[in-house]
Chain A
């Protein structure tokens, strides 16, 4: 099992834009390690050359024709937004990419 370190937890938290304290990072590292180890026991049930499966149901090529369907109105689209302005969702500025 790979080492689930507090640093890794902090990295994951930054990807998810969650602030964690050092105490939380320590605690979460220990808890997540238990979860990861538990999930890893699945490997024991699988012997040999069973390929990884993403889509267990043998189904492919489910397409939609390129035909316009009604959209929401602007009002409907914004109705669940925490905040909006000028017909747009208003979100906190995130110092990242443009």
Chain B
């Protein structure tokens, strides 16, 4: 599995048109599974949320979860889709132990939602309309652990262990039509699209939408064709790319890899590929099965789903604010500059900042912490901000400590590091570590006098209005206070001192 040869990205775009297609699986947060009453929960002991239905024992009869159907309709409507007046489930047959039934109950020719569109804004500010082909209901598969290989991956494994807790958990799979015209921004568009789907299902309250837990998973199809060519090129499908950052990287990688092959006169194999986050490459998986190979047929154990017009309209009436509209509203409420606001949106920090503001922080302070220090730490640890161990309430508390002058920005960053390390809330950390700034003017004046004793010229300089001379004294005082002082207050006291003499 060597790193493939890649064409330079700009060169690839000069020669080829990029076509992407995205399949996003959203795990619903219903209390129970799609077809049985087992708990839909993450992290329980293996094979404790299973029953004869979801482990496919003979004679068991599935029944559709009403809530899952309603959630699916809500997702469909939010994507501008039509809702099928008559939908069926189908069996997708394949032999693999992640489902014990030897088939996945899914939807094939009659998905619950079809033909929608969604506008996606990429970091440059360009907006692309992505056409949704369909959104269908299906069940998730169990979790396999491969044992015996030295990497924990399938190759070299001696056997596999299966936990069916996740088998039967409701999924909605959202499939786009081929997306053309994004050019160099195709990787960003792919990531922004998945981010939008996440935002929508989160706003709907139908999924926990946590990518690190696999609540939202993306398979990215990429193909290239020569500019002006009519026929779509052969595509590859990179499976389960599990963070927004990885989606962007994986699409970009596939563009460069395929361009190199095509430019050299080779052809692309239609196959699934696996994304390796650690090495930043994709590797060949299995040849992509044709739909025929799945031998879909209508599920005889489940009757059709026929949502009434009234049901559809009642769900439509309760849809929450569309995330794009919400952005417009928040941009108005927060009063950020256009650049600041776009930065927030592009960093995917809208929720965090909104919750931080709701917890009492000023919008600018909330923005500064999340897009500044928190984002910096996430970046250096190569994580998503959402995966860091800090909550909006904690950031609000941190901001209020700074606002009240109890700590300064520098100490604030130290406190944040302690919060991230799980040492407690900001206020607890400040008091436990004695980080509160020295607000005792007496102590500050003593330090100022001490600093002035070694730099007597500074007083004259300040009186003559050469304020830059104050810097050295302020610096010395801050050092003496081990950083735990409000530099602005030190400056004030220093000026008073100079003018009094």
Contact = CB atoms under 8 A, between A and B. Distances in A.
Interface string B28-62: 00111001111100000111111110010100000
Contacts of B63: 62-64
Contacts, number: 154
Chain B CB within 10 A, most for which of A69, A73, A86, A93: A93
A72 B157 CA distance: 29
Contact of B304 (A55, A86, A87): A55
B408 to A, nearest CB: 49
Chain A CB within 10 A, most for which of B146, B148, B154: B154
Given A69-B32, A72-B52, A96 B154 contact: yes
Interface in A1-52: 11, 15-17
A85 to B, nearest CB: 6
B263 interface: no
Contacts of A68: 31-32, 37-39
Interface in B232-287: 239, 272, 274, 285-286
A74 B46 CA distance: 7
B66 A93 contact: no
A73 B48 contact: yes
A76 to B, nearest CB: 9
A95 B149 CA distance: 12
Contact of B159 (A16, A54, A90, A96): A90
Given A55-B304, A66-B67, A68-B31, A91 B159 contact: yes
Contacts of A80: 57
A94 B97 contact: yes
Given A71-B48, A74-B47, A94 B161 contact: no
Given A62-B63, A85-B161, A98 B153 contact: yes
Q: Which 6 A-B pairs have the closest CB atoms?
A: A69-B37, A54-B298, A88-B161, A66-B67, A63-B66, A64-B63
